Amino acid sequence: MNPVRPFSSCAAVFFLVVTGLSSPVSADEIRFRIKTSPRDSVEVTGLDTAGVPYICLNELADVLRFPSAVNDTVKKFEFRISTRRIKFSRNNPFLVVTDVPTNASSVYQLPQPVLQRDRKYYAPLFPFVSFFDRMWAGGVSLDSLSLTMSLGSFDDAPEFDITGVSIERKSNGYLIIIHALRKFGEVEAWLKPDGWLFVTIANAKADTFALSRTRLFGAIRNLLTFQSPTSVQLTFKVAPDVAQAEVINEPESHDLLIALRTLSPPEKEAIEKKRQQSIQENLEKERNRWKLDVIVIDAGHGGKDPGALGVAKTKEKDITLGVALKLGKFLEKNLKGVKVVYTRKTDAFIELYRRTQIANEAGGKLFVSIHCNSLERKPSRARGFEIYLLRPGKTEEAIEIAERENSVIQLEEGYEQRYQKLTEENFILVTMAQSAYVKYSEHFAEIAAEAMEKNSTLKNSGVKQAGFYVLVGASMPNVLVETGYLSNRTEEKFLKSSAGQTKIAEALYNGIKQYKEIYEKALSEGSRQ
């Protein structure tokens, strides 16, 4: 159902005016009353064109004794109010207002164009009145029912002593001229480093309308005028190359002069050089911030949580710690400038959420969680290593592995509150939080899988994805490595042996090293652009 739309008050007024005064034939003559004081009034004519009332500008100028002129050649009409000249053009909605002393012009747009009949010019009444109200210092009001326009007295109007601003270009900058009708004392101009120039003139009254029409150009980009009961503040926004603002004392004139000095080419060059330098410094800082200088190794399980058990009862937690410590040694020995952080170095129980917390607190740039795989059925033939990314599990097998690894949270107190179920919705949130690192996690997983395949006898079961709690909080690229199957007799033996753990650690080390080289090369190339 359509809602009933009320007539707007404006439309209602319009309707009354039209029917009350003329039949809707095009261009009927209508009459307006102009009250110039509570007692005195005069009449001017107008036109009603298809319901739009127009006022005759020539007659208005005559009855108000404005100096006026018609230019028949270019079809223009103009009159003057106080120091302003207002120009109307036939069939044109734009009025040009020129401040005569400064010769600064501004344009005002009416919703309908100015009409011309014979030598008479007409403006649409309602928009013209609001324009006229801004020009006539005493103010103008309109009673649209009786078509009576009342003019406030010029005597009640505030007297302006700041009448306008003009700007001149000089050889070494600009000159701002604040036009004043009387002499002002000390004026302060304050140029802030962020490009705002404040000029405060005490005991002044500004013609804010004229000021709002200031023609700005060059380094002067904006002008805001603030009139308080006791002062006027002019705020200019100037270009960054304005170096100095200085008030100039001109005893001959009432005007206030402010000279803006712009930077010379050598000065500009020096500043540009400094700017470039600071960009370089920031880039260097940024590059250092992203440098792969802290690697976090997370040995899975520990303490009261043994992890998976092998065919010969080998505990996952012992193998993960062995591999983690060996991997750390490789990194510390061979990658200079890299700090290795362990989530545990002993047989301790560390809660899952704490592991990435440790990594984040240390400013880690890569998080590698080390685990061993196992199947329910022991012994079984499944073998090989897998590298996991934090994503919704795709295969049943991946989901099972994640469930097994995640089940250790039940050993933590109050785990229900701490870990949110990794529903699809929660995954979206987690992925968003890690979106900056996903690409790097993937890249590292690929490189590490390749390196492990090349450097060990383990079968590469590829890069996979599943929802591991231990990776959720990481604010850095992260992967989980299932080094091999404890449910496979041969692999259990290999994983348990010091030689086997060294092999895995070395293989992982090679992956990290390779990744670091590629990553940092890309980083330095990126930052040079």
302 touches Zn ion by CB under 5 A: no
| Identity of the residue, 300 or 484, whose beta carbon is nearer to Zn ion in the bound complex | 300
305 touches Zn ion by CB under 5 A: no
Return the bridge partners of 70, or none: 77
Among 300, 364, 467, 500, binds Zn ion (CB under 5 A): 300
DSSP-based three-state secondary structure for 256: strand
| Identity of the residue, 225 or 487, whose beta carbon is nearer to Zn ion in the bound complex | 487
* Token output for 495: 């994983």
**CB count, 10 Å around CB of 452?**
24
Return the bridge partners of 176, or none: 167, 258
371 touches Zn ion by CB under 5 A: yes
E-strand stretches of 193-289 = 196-202, 220-227, 231-238, 242-248, 256-262
Q: Give the position of tokens 């304050």.
A: 190
Cα separation, 26 vs 122, whole angstroms: 14
CA 434 to each of CA 79, 166, 299: distance values in angstroms, whole numbers, following the listed order: 69, 55, 22
Burial category of 43 from C-beta neighbours within 10 Å (exposed 0-12, middle 13-18, buried 19 and up): exposed
Q: Least separation, in Å, of the C-beta of 369 and Zn ion?
A: 8
322 touches Zn ion by CB under 5 A: no
Q: Least separation, in Å, of the C-beta of 503 and Zn ion?
A: 19
Q: Give the position of tokens 């309308």.
A: 209
| Identity of the residue, 84 or 371, whose beta carbon is nearer to Zn ion in the bound complex | 371
Choose the stretch contacting Zn ion; rule: CB under 5 A; options: 146-154, 191-199, 306-314, 472-480: 306-314
DSSP tally for the chain: helices H, then strands E: 14, 26
Q: Residue 459 — φ and ψ, nearest 5°?
A: -80, 135
| Identity of the residue, 121 or 388, whose beta carbon is nearer to Zn ion in the bound complex | 388
| Identity of the residue, 307 or 473, whose beta carbon is nearer to Zn ion in the bound complex | 307
Q: Residue 485 — φ and ψ, nearest 5°?
A: -100, 120
Q: Least separation, in Å, of the C-beta of 498 and Zn ion?
A: 20
Choose the stretch contacting Zn ion; rule: CB under 5 A; options: 153-161, 303-311, 416-424, 514-522: 303-311
* Token output for 80: 């003057």
| Identity of the residue, 191 or 480, whose beta carbon is nearer to Zn ion in the bound complex | 480
Choose the stretch contacting Zn ion; rule: CB under 5 A; options: 25-33, 292-300, 376-384, 445-453: 292-300
Q: Least separation, in Å, of the C-beta of 330 and Zn ion?
A: 21
| Identity of the residue, 326 or 516, whose beta carbon is nearer to Zn ion in the bound complex | 326
Q: Kindly determine how many residues on this chain lie close enough to bind Zn ion according to the rule CB under 5 A.
A: 4
310 touches Zn ion by CB under 5 A: no
500 touches Zn ion by CB under 5 A: no
Q: Least separation, in Å, of the C-beta of 526 and Zn ion?
A: 36
DSSP-based three-state secondary structure for 82: coil
Q: Give the position of tokens 């992260």.
A: 478
* Token output for 209: 């309308």
**CB count, 10 Å around CB of 106?**
16
| Identity of the residue, 344 or 371, whose beta carbon is nearer to Zn ion in the bound complex | 371
Cα separation, 408 vs 427, whole angstroms: 20
Q: Which of residues 388-417 bind Zn ion (CB under 5 A)?
A: 405
Q: Which residue is nearest to Zn ion (CB)?
A: 371
Among 53, 164, 302, 307, binds Zn ion (CB under 5 A): 307
Q: Least separation, in Å, of the C-beta of 301 and Zn ion?
A: 5
Q: Least separation, in Å, of the C-beta of 401 and Zn ion?
A: 9
| Identity of the residue, 388 or 437, whose beta carbon is nearer to Zn ion in the bound complex | 388
Cα separation, 133 vs 128, whole angstroms: 8
- Give contact residues for Zn ion (rule: CB under 5 A): 300, 307, 371, 405
